[in-house]
Amino acid sequence: MVFPEWLAEPGLNHFLVVSAILFSLGLLAVISRRNIIMVLMGIELILNSANLNFVAFSRYGALSLEGHMIALFVIIIAAAEAAIALAIALNIYNRFGSVDVEQISELKE
């Protein structure tokens, strides 16, 4: 069994393609799912794909350890964002009785 040459040795492009697929799936979760928790999970996928790009470029490209640092800061901010977003989702559930994003269409006067 013979593999094509570009398939045999994973390089930068392979990681970039995986991250592009992850980004697309996260975008799909954000725009097609209606549960607010699912939208959050999609955002986590998108952040992970961006992180994967940073780390891949710091391995193969000219971005040295700075790529790792940026990935770490993205992880930190994702943690803060998840905590805040979950608190907001709980508040929305208490007020509207649902976490369907299409039913959340009212503002306080």
Partner 1 sequence: MDLFAIAFYVFAILIVGSAALMVFSKNIVHSAFALMFTLAGVAVFYALLHAGFVAVTQLLVYVGGILVLLLFGVMLTTRGSFMDVKTRSVNLLPSTFFVAIVGGLLIFVFVSTDWILLPLTEDQVSLPGLGELLMTDFMLPFQVAGVLLLLSIIGAVLMAVRKKTLKPGTQ
Q: 66 to each of 2, 54, 75, how far by Cα in Å?
A: 38, 9, 14
Instruction: Copy the structure tokens of residue 12.
Output: 């930068």
Name which position in 8, 105, 106, 108 contacts partner 1 (CB under 8 A): 8
Q: 70 to each of 18, 47, 49, 54, 67, how far by Cα in Å?
A: 19, 12, 13, 7, 5
Task: Tell whether residue 15 is a contact of partner 1 (CB under 8 A).
Answer: yes
Task: Tell whether residue 50 is a contact of partner 1 (CB under 8 A).
Answer: no
Residues between 58 and 77 that touch partner 1 (CB under 8 A): 58-62, 65-69, 71-73, 75-77
Task: Tell whether residue 4 is a contact of partner 1 (CB under 8 A).
Answer: no
Which CB atom, from 3 or from 106, has the smaller least distance to partner 1? Answer: 3
DSSP string, 11-22: -HHHHHHHHHHH
Residues between 79 and 98 that touch partner 1 (CB under 8 A): 79-84, 86-91, 93, 97
